[in-house]
Chain A
Amino acid sequence: MASEKKKASIFTRLSDTNLLLAITIIIFVLMYLGAVLIQGGGFTKPQTFFNILNANAALILTSCGMSIVMITGGIDISVGGVVALVSMCCAVYLDKHNGNVFVSILIALAIGLAYGVVQGFLVAYLDIQPFIVSLAGMFFARGMTTIVNSAPFNVENEAFVTLKNTRINVPGLGSVNKKGVYVPAYVEIGVIVALLAVVFLFFLLQYTKLGRSFYAVGGNKQSALMLGINVKRTKFLSHLICSLLAGIGGYVYFLHVGSGSPSHASGMEMEAIASSIIGGTMLTGGVGNIIGTLFGVLSLSTIKNIVASAGLDEAWWTGITIAAMLCIFLIIQSVVMAQKKRALKTN
């Protein structure tokens, strides 16, 4: 009886954010252990895990931006389009105009910044629904990508290719391959960028005035206003950060694939939203965590890997399993939150 009461108090003492974060991490760990047990082989190698990171560094960046917008109570579905636009513009600049790698990074940042300023202004100061603004933003980015160049092509700029192939070995981790040679596990530059961004954003959200005001605005706009928070500016900044991260994510994506194509990152906005939700961010705003988002991306991509390595190579299985997982996560979230509400009421 006593233990039951204690359990309930821990359950209710955790904030919504931490409760959902805990669920996410537990489920991810269980899933990865399950993958190791069922599939064995590949999943025990550290490189498999790092490959998930390598392939999804861009998704981590865009999902973090998405989480911030969602915490503030908005949504941004233009991120996939921005990623495609950035990689196409950089590809054209580097390959067709033989450009400088440093300048191409500036191009990526400039596109992200421009998107953030325009969308943020429309959402925050003109009070237009974020869904419509970013929908138009997505249309515009996808259309512009084909206007810039409609055919996919590979970039052969030397400096860029060197940067693309740079591998950073992870100390202490590696595996012995079939020939008996020890191969250290490696990550690409994009992963470092993504993880730095995660750490930076975690501290921003947790310990700065701006970060806390994101939660305040998303939780309750009126009381945030009463507290003296500049609601419009906070909303504006959330969209600015999101688009800027999409710009950086676009470059990281470009660094991973090394080509420009109108079909790049198609559906990435939905994957980013899904990752944020799996990571415990709520679309109603005010609840969410960057670490959770990181685990959301990892869970999503682990599922993809499991499906791919389980030999269910028919393309439709990926879609169905991701959707099924999303469904389960959403229902767990919904049930847990309802339970918590009830527990709080009875206390």
Chain B
Amino acid sequence: MSKDSAKGGFWRKLVSHQLFIPLVALILLAVINLIHDPSFFKITLGTNNAGYPALSGSLITILDYGSELAILAIGMTLVTAASGGQDISVGATIAIAGSAMLRVLCGSNSRPDTLAAPIIVGFIVACLAGMACGAFNGMLVAYFKIQPMIATLILFTAGRSIAAWINNNELPIVPDPKFGYFGGFIPGVPIPTTVFIAAACIVVIALVLRFTNLGLYTQAVGINESSSRLNGINPNFIKFITFVILGLCVAVAALIKVSRLSTINYSVIAKDIEMDAILAVALGGNSLAGGKFNMWASILGAYIIQFLTTTLYKFNVSSDALAAYKAIVVIILVVVSAPVFRDWISQFAKRFAKTQKEVG
């Protein structure tokens, strides 16, 4: 009997664990792909267009294209935890940061023969632009007490226009092939560079969470703002700083996005990525109302979204119709992970077991 209950406890613990739903989703997606086409998991070492060795395969694609989302999910998790709201301007701020970077790299000439400034300077400017946008959002949220989604609506509306204005609506092309390394492959290294960039970001945030009080303070502010203030934390500053960190994440994502094409398209770049980033946080089982968070779950959520996208492409779903299928999967996931739904299921299971016993 006691063994039985212990077993039940284990299962209950497993099922109610935060990572349970995302992991089940991941396994389910993997199994579906395995049945549909086992070659999904094949990784081949070939050469890319430039003649350098490069790994290719669906799994590599997921890791490659999931990187921006994973990086954004890091910042979005912190913002969500601290302020209980989401930043919907990340797509637009990627356009701003990318545009600022191109402006520095290409100068006033939109078709330069050489770089006007070293790549690192361009990246620093992008970081400053991203952090400035983050600071603007953070200021509105923390000091003017405006709900995050509404405060970021401002940059969401204006961001792409500002990005176009920075470069006078021209579309500069970066001449240096080295710039393309960030979104592609470094010659001689067969793994996409984006994987290293994402890994670096994850390591940095892991170290920050391990060795600073950022994680603890963020959760404290998210759970109860006034009691965190009574404990000597400055909630406004914590909220502000999470938005600035998200701005930094945005700048890194912008570097990857712009580097993939060596140019920018203001109205299309990183379109709808804010929705995916918020989804990543929610899929990881984090509450969108703030408070406790699990960074790993968010990052896992980001890769699951990319896994889903790649899977749907494998099933020959056109990119326009992709959203409809994604929506269905999202609804299934949130319904399954909803506490109310779980209660219903467990009640149903109990009643079912009872009737079984009576019959027996």
Contact = CB atoms under 8 A, between A and B. Distances in A.
A224 interface: no
Interface string A269-285: 01001100100000110
A323 B154 contact: yes
A108 to B, nearest CB: 19
Given A133-B334, A320-B165, A283 B147 contact: yes
Contacts of A335: 144
B151 A133 contact: no
B35 interface: no
Contacts of B324: 139-140, 142-144, 146-147
B279 A324 contact: no
Contact count band on A? 35 or more
A323 B158 contact: yes
Nearest to A143: B324
B322 A284 contact: no
B348 interface: no
A146 B321 contact: yes
A143 B323 contact: yes
A122 interface: yes
A143 B325 contact: yes
A139 B309 CA distance: 13
Interface in B139-180: 140, 144-147, 149-151, 153-162, 164-165, 169
Contacts of A75: 149
Interface string B320-331: 111111111011
Interface stretch (A61-69, A165-173, A204-212, A311-319): A311-319
Interface string B64-89: 00000000000000000000001000
Interface string A132-148: 11011111101110110
A200 interface: no
Contact of B326 (A126, A129, A131, A139): A139
B320 A135 contact: no
Given A277-B150, A283-B150, A129 B288 contact: yes
A274 B152 CA distance: 11
Nearest to B163: A316
Contact of B153 (A135, A136, A274): A274
A145 to B, nearest CB: 9
Given A147-B321, A270-B153, A330 B140 contact: yes
B275 interface: yes
A136 B331 contact: yes
Given A122-B331, A316-B161, A327 B154 contact: yes
Contacts of A136: 326-328, 330-331, 334
Contacts of B335: 122, 126, 128
Interface stretch (B14-22, B181-189, B247-255, B336-344): B336-344
Given A132-B334, A133-B334, A334-B146, A320 B161 contact: yes
Given A143-B324, A316-B162, A135 B275 contact: yes
B52 to A, nearest CB: 37
A261 to B, nearest CB: 12
A147 B157 CA distance: 28
A331 interface: yes
A131 B288 contact: yes
Given A324-B158, A326-B157, A140 B146 contact: no
Nearest to B86: A131
Interface in A298-330: 314-320, 322-324, 326-327, 330
B321 A334 contact: no
Nearest to A317: B161
A147 to B, nearest CB: 5
Interface of A: 75, 122, 125-129, 131-133, 135-140, 142-144, 146-147, 150, 262, 270, 273-274, 277, 283-284, 314-320, 322-324, 326-327, 330-331, 334-335, 338
Given A274-B153, A315-B161, A323-B157, 14 more contacts: A126-B335, A132-B282, A138-B275, A146-B320, A146-B321, A314-B165, A316-B169, A318-B161, A319-B158, A323-B154, A323-B161, A326-B153, A330-B140, A338-B145
11 contacts: A122-B335, A139-B275, A139-B324, A277-B150, A314-B165, A316-B165, A319-B160, A320-B165, A326-B154, A330-B140, A334-B146
